[in-house]
Structure 1
Amino acid sequence: MKKPLLILIIPFLSFGQGWEQIFGANTTGSGYYGTSAQQVQDGGYIVCGGTHFTQSVLFGMTPSDICIFKTDSNGEEQWSKTFGSEYWDGNEYWDFGKSIQQTTDGGYVIAGYVNGFGMGGGNAYLLKVDNNGEEQWSQIFDFGIAEAVQQTTDGGYIITGYDSSDIYLLKTDENGEQQWSQTFEESFNDRAMFVQQTTDGGYIMTGCTSVINSLGNATTDIYLAKINANGEQQWSQIFGGPGNDKAHCVQQTTDGGYIITGEDEEDIYNPANDFWVANTDVYLIKTNELGQEEWAQRFGEAGNDGGRSVQQTSDGGYIIAGYVAPGENQNSNIYLLKTNDNGEEQWSQTFGGAGDETAQSVQQTSDGGYIIAAHTSTTNNISNGVYLIKTDAQGNTPSTNITETPTTNKSLIKKIDVLGREATNKGFQLHIYDDGAVEKKYIIK
């Protein structure tokens, strides 16, 4: 039996650049959500998001805290931190981290929101921590949600987000003190999801805005705006069709243009039920330096699919992360898509199990692979966890299946890791059964 087992282990080890880790998932109804990840100076990774607890005394709501995980290059946790506000009577409320970046001093800056300040809803939040995750300072701003943050070339920070109807863009100094802010109102329901400083010292921002389509219905279109260094709009562009279209990420490209990803909605006729169903696709748009469309591509499966993060890769192409659902009303899986410089698909990968998984960010790593931040739910959506995935240059990891228990009646006789050692903890394992079968599994405990 040793010989066949060795043959099975070798291909499992061949994907040495890839791994998958889940943080915070359990079976108590609580869990964690991952929203943003980045490779950092020591070769490890930083990821942020939010915790999620089962109940709250206040109004019966489910509170959360901002969470940060730091890992080594293999995805093993080195430390984790949580940060949260308290409501006026001492009860925890809903706080969430949406974006994280390593700063030039080796620490980290996190943008998100806290709801514990003000009865009317959330407030945008900016948090600075040192390289060990210890808080250095925090700032609260008078708008609803901060979706993205980036350190600027002067050492300060640019933040974008929105409240109930308007887009906000806010610039701070290195201590998070506000220098200026601008409000943008294209329509009655606008949202900004991402901002990046551009090579001219200004900013590119994307999100969505409400429009009235040709049928007289209110829908959303993709919004792209170029802002100068003082926060003044230079131009804006709208993209979309008759359905609800949204952008989640934009990056300036090496030719001075921009690449955008999000969701494009269209109505698809369902002959079995004799009605039209609104389905979304992953949407990829390339523009020139003035935001004028050069090309657009759509990707996905039969269900609702979407792009959440995009980056230009070292070969001039693009990597997109998001989600795909194989059919109508089915749970989604994480979707990783690589294209060439014209947006034509080169390869794609999916990750996930029986629960619901969505990728929120992707970045090319120093070895040519990719790091993905996502959230995952266990079977029957009992619990959620931060899902951190490291792939090789082709999007491969040791396994893409998440299972918790054997799926047949055969008897399990041994659990080993990829080196043949007895495995008792969570993570990737080889399960050997009495009928000779060997299965790769990811165990969540």
Structure 2
Amino acid sequence: MKQYYIVIFFLLTLAFGCNDEEGAGPGESDTFVKLYGSRYGEDAQDLLVESDGRMLVLSSTEIEIDDDTYYKVIVRQIDALGNLLWESTFPSSEIENTLPNYTGSSIIKHLDGYLIIGSSINTDSETSESETNMLLLKIDQSGSMIATSEFSLDDGSTELNGVDAVVNSVGELKVTALLNSDTQNLWVGTFDDNLNNIPECSFSFSSAGSGTSLIQGAFVEENNDIVYSISTFVNKGNSRLVRVPSCQPTQITGPLISTEANTASYDINQLSTSLNGYAMVGTTDVNGDNDIFLARVDEFGVLQDSIPIVFGGADLDGDEEGFGIYQTADGGFLITGSSESNTEGGSDIILIKTDFRGNELWSRFYGDQNDEQASEIGQAPDGGYLILGDTEFGGINTLILIKTDRQGNVN
């Protein structure tokens, strides 16, 4: 049930930085492998799939010039065949010491355009001191910037990093963020259509752990409660579901995935919905090496299985890491990440399809002699699967977008 695909990247050079509608004829396959990149290299951040098959791909780039480091956000709209429609970079100006630096975490549909959630890093050119504020960047359907909003706490003395956002049933924008703080390091804020903060519906919380990461994947329920997840250190690496009642300074935190002292680590990387609650994917060392785990939890974060499901064993004898999860139309899950098992060299992209209980149906590998890993997964309107990740092309970190059929095959 396991298949392996060699991605021959030198045959794909026409897809690198110059994708267009040419050659996209009616007989072209509905599966593809495409590369997108820039001269400084990029890291994949998020994938948004539209109902007509178009995609929004969010990435961040790190630019080093004369011992200085700058960060920019790049957004691309790509059609259903993988052709580039438009590309926008923010900030759009040339590099200057006075420019803000932007990093992106998530992109969502918002009103008649799109909203990027991330961080703005502002550095004083004289003192080299910097402050990090949460960034909300609104763009229209053609990729032009409409508005930006930078939000900080305590007059900028507490760093705030935006992670994800959802819109509730009354049209309020709910944003999740991580604070650089020892005690209150989680934050949920409410914003209006003009990206103005509503302070009476914005709260900070403690994660009750250390080394906390806020996970991409925020959801709003019918009663407008906001649900997200965190990875934190309690005994060892651990994960939990968090629920914040709308406009109430109350946090309901679910139980830890692992509750015994000195047990295995379960570090979550992404959260999705499931038929009876939510599903977490991440990496565990329960078998000694690194393996991918799936934890299905109910609406209050209680495990639906006695222990998380681990994908490993004889078929996966190397290190695996789980980075992305998506609930498919049949109620099952797509899981993606990286694998060092059965590879031609380095790490490859792994794709696992499960049923609604998390039982593995099949798995696929994609890669070549370079290192590849995938961080985002989605389903196309035609039922095929979309995988967004990173690879190396010409010594530069480059985005890779794979479209498969319903069985994970690339023709």
CA distance, structure 1, for counterparts of residue 368 and residue 100 of structure 2: 31
User: What TM-score do the two structures reach when normalised by structure 2?
Assistant: 0.80
The answer to whether 1:387 aligns with 2:400 is yes
1:27-426 aligned at under 5 Å gives the runs: 30-53=40-63, 55-57=64-66, 60-84=67-91, 90=97, 94-105=101-112, 107-116=113-122, 119-142=129-152, 143-165=159-181, 166-179=185-198, 180-185=201-206, 186-194=208-216, 195-211=218-234, 213=235, 219-231=236-248, 232-240=250-258, 242-255=263-276, 257-266=277-286, 268=288, 279-295=289-305, 296-300=308-312, 301-326=316-341, 331-378=346-393, 382-398=395-411
Deviations 1:307-364 (A, max 9, x none): 2222221111111122222289x73222211101111101111222222222121112
User: Once the 2 structures are TM-superposed, how far is the Cα of residue 50 of structure 1 from its aligned partner?
Assistant: 1.0
Out of 25, 29, 43, the residue aligned to residue 16 of structure 1 is 29
8 Å Cα contact 1:304-1:327 kept in structure 2: no
What CA RMSD, in Å, does the superposition of the two structures yield over aligned residues?
Answer: 2.7
Q: Secondary structure at the match of 1:189?
A: strand
Residue 375 and residue 289 in structure 1: after superposition, are their counterparts in 2 closer, same or farther (change >3 A)? same
Counterpart in the other structure of 1:216? none
CA distance, structure 2, for counterparts of residue 116 and residue 390 of structure 1: 37
Deviates more, 1:165-174 or 1:131-140: 165-174
Deviations 1:130-163 (A, max 9, x none): 0001111111122432222233333332222313
The residue type paired with residue 151 of structure 1 is V
Residue 164 and residue 85 in structure 1: after superposition, are their counterparts in 2 closer, same or farther (change >3 A)? farther
User: Once the 2 structures are TM-superposed, how far is the Cα of residue 25 of structure 1 from its aligned partner?
Assistant: 5.1
Residue 187 and residue 137 in structure 1: after superposition, are their counterparts in 2 closer, same or farther (change >3 A)? same
8 Å Cα contact 2:165-2:173 kept in structure 1: yes
Q: Secondary structure at the match of 2:82?
A: coil
CA distance, structure 2, for counterparts of residue 331 and residue 122 of structure 1: 34
8 Å Cα contact 1:56-1:91 kept in structure 2: no
CA distance, structure 2, for counterparts of residue 124 and residue 302 of structure 1: 41
- Higher Rg of the two aligned structures: 1
User: Once the 2 structures are TM-superposed, how far is the Cα of residue 245 of structure 1 from its aligned partner?
Assistant: 2.4
Residue 280 and residue 233 in structure 1: after superposition, are their counterparts in 2 closer, same or farther (change >3 A)? same
Q: Secondary structure at the match of 2:390?
A: strand
CA distance, structure 2, for counterparts of residue 291 and residue 223 of structure 1: 7
Structure 2: 5+ residue stretches without partners: 1-25, 153-158
The residue type paired with residue 170 of structure 2 is D
User: Once the 2 structures are TM-superposed, how far is the Cα of residue 297 of structure 1 from its aligned partner?
Assistant: 0.8
8 Å Cα contact 1:15-1:392 kept in structure 2: no
8 Å Cα contact 1:204-1:250 kept in structure 2: no
Residue 383 and residue 84 in structure 1: after superposition, are their counterparts in 2 closer, same or farther (change >3 A)? same
The residue type paired with residue 37 of structure 2 is G
Counterpart in the other structure of 1:434? none
CA distance, structure 1, for counterparts of residue 143 and residue 94 of structure 2: 24
Aligned residues: 359
8 Å Cα contact 2:230-2:242 kept in structure 1: no
The residue type paired with residue 202 of structure 1 is D
Residue 286 and residue 123 in structure 1: after superposition, are their counterparts in 2 closer, same or farther (change >3 A)? same
8 Å Cα contact 1:87-1:117 kept in structure 2: no
Counterpart in the other structure of 2:19? none
Residue 199 and residue 280 in structure 1: after superposition, are their counterparts in 2 closer, same or farther (change >3 A)? farther
User: Once the 2 structures are TM-superposed, how far is the Cα of residue 94 of structure 1 from its aligned partner?
Assistant: 4.6
Residue 87 and residue 71 in structure 1: after superposition, are their counterparts in 2 closer, same or farther (change >3 A)? closer
User: Once the 2 structures are TM-superposed, how far is the Cα of residue 98 of structure 1 from its aligned partner?
Assistant: 1.4
Residue 124 and residue 356 in structure 1: after superposition, are their counterparts in 2 closer, same or farther (change >3 A)? farther
8 Å Cα contact 2:240-2:301 kept in structure 1: no
Q: Secondary structure at the match of 1:81?
A: strand
CA distance, structure 2, for counterparts of residue 375 and residue 343 of structure 1: 26
8 Å Cα contact 1:258-1:287 kept in structure 2: yes
CA distance, structure 2, for counterparts of residue 356 and residue 156 of structure 1: 41
Deviations 1:70-115 (A, max 9, x none): 011111001000003999972556532111122342x111111121
